[in-house]
Amino acid sequence: MTPDSNTARPDASVPAERHIEHFVADFAETPLQATDKVKEDQAPLSLWAEAWRNLRKQPLFLISAFLILVVVAVSLFPGLFSPIDPSSEACQLANSDGGPSAGHPLGFTQQGCDVYARVIFGTRSSVTVGLFTTIGVLVIGGIMGALAGYYGGWVDAVLARINDIFFALPLILGAIVVMQLPMFRANRTAWTLVLILMTFGWPQIARITRGAVIEVRNADFVTAARSLGVSKFGALMRHVMPNSLAPIIVVATISLGTFIVAESTLSFLGIGLPPSVMSWGNDIQAAQASLRSNPMPLLYPAIALSITVLSFIMLGDALRDALDPKARKR
């Protein structure tokens, strides 16, 4: 018998190296870190991550987002899209109601202004009023709705009655009445229009915010935060509001298009932006006099307005479908 005869030999059928590699973690990480990595890989996506994944697959979102990016680019850098600046180059009556020509693809207005240039440079005023009005109503309506929904009681009762009063006032009609006051009639600027539209536009955001906060305020994670000593205001800002943003973002996106229409409507009626300011509403108002003989100066800003508003509505619908878990399950 040889000296090695009593020594147990490893079974040749068992792959020893593979057996060891299966159970031994990488030297660069501890077993606990390896377990955490597996849990992270298997963790479900958050609401926003899952919504973004769904949005990228929706043609409605891609089309509306592309159109909105184009509108934003035109409003920020109009000189890149039109070599003619209507604010510095005076209109020439010799070109009155002229048709399309080289360098003037959409023709001229009755005053001899380049239609294409006015549509391009008028984008900034319309989008600016809509954007800043939306930001304003988000701040006012968000604060009012969050306080009413989270604290409840007499706070909710008082703020709800204030909301009802302003909600009963139509946006356009209320703006028309206020714009006729002497202090506003003599100071017709974009910021005046933003202030007036904010005054009548915040109640809808407040109602949506209140409902979203009421739905979240009694959730387990909010109760746990309060039991750990977080104040009511801290729980509202750190836990309730971040989980109530989905419906607010959807309504705000659609409202932005609504406020752009409101500005154009008031300017068309002659009580919005002053005629010296280029906007789609002023262009439509100026072109109505020559509607029968030359409808194109009215048609093109109306098309630009319609495409922009439709893009925001389409984007809001896409966001609603992506951020609503019930809609995704259906």
| Lookup result for tokens 């604060």 | 143
C-alpha count within 13 angstroms, C-beta hemisphere, residue 61: 16
pTM: 0.80
What phi and psi, each to the nearest 5 degrees, are found at residue 151? Answer: -85, -30
Q: What is the pLDDT of residues 188-231, one digit of tens each?
A: 889 999 999 999 999 999 999 999 999 998 888 888 988 888 88
Which has more pLDDT, 313 or 85?
A: 313
User: For residues 18 and 86, which has the higher predicted lDDT (pLDDT)?
Assistant: 86
| Phi and psi angles of residue 47, each rounded to the nearest 5 degrees, phi first | -60, -45
Residue 104 backbone phi and psi in degrees, to 5? -135, 75
In this structure, what token pair is assigned to residue 200? 């009548």
Q: How confident is the model at residue 90 (pLDDT cuts 50, 70, 90)?
A: low
Q: With the C-alpha atoms ordered 256, 260, 265, 271, is the resulting torsion angle positive or negative?
A: positive
Q: Which residue bears the tokens 């009762």?
A: 157
Report domain extents, the chain.
67-79+115-329
Other C-beta atoms lying within 10 Å of the C-beta of residue 141: 27
Residue 325's pLDDT is 58
In CATH, the number for domain 67-79+115-329 is: 1.10.3720.10
Q: What is the pLDDT of residue 49?
A: 79
Percent of the chain with pLDDT over 70: 82
The DSSP secondary structure of 229-255, one letter per residue, reads T--HHHHIIIIIGGGSHHHHHHHHHHH
- Asked if residue 76 has pLDDT above 90, the reply is yes
Condensed to tens digits (0 to 9), the pLDDT of residues 26-75 reads: 545 555 554 455 444 444 556 677 778 878 888 888 999 999 999 999 99
Q: How confident is the model at residue 246 (pLDDT cuts 50, 70, 90)?
A: confident
* pLDDT-based confidence at residue 280 (cuts at 50, 70, 90): very high
* % pLDDT > 90, the chain: 44
CB-CB contact of 119 with 307 (8 Å): no
Which pLDDT score is estimated for 323? 78
Radius of gyration of the CA atoms of the chain, in A: 30
Whether the predicted pLDDT of 103 surpasses 90 = no
Contact indicator for 283, 291 with CB cutoff of 8 Å: no
Mean pLDDT estimate for the chain: 83
134-148: per-residue pLDDT in tens?
Answer: 999 999 999 999 999
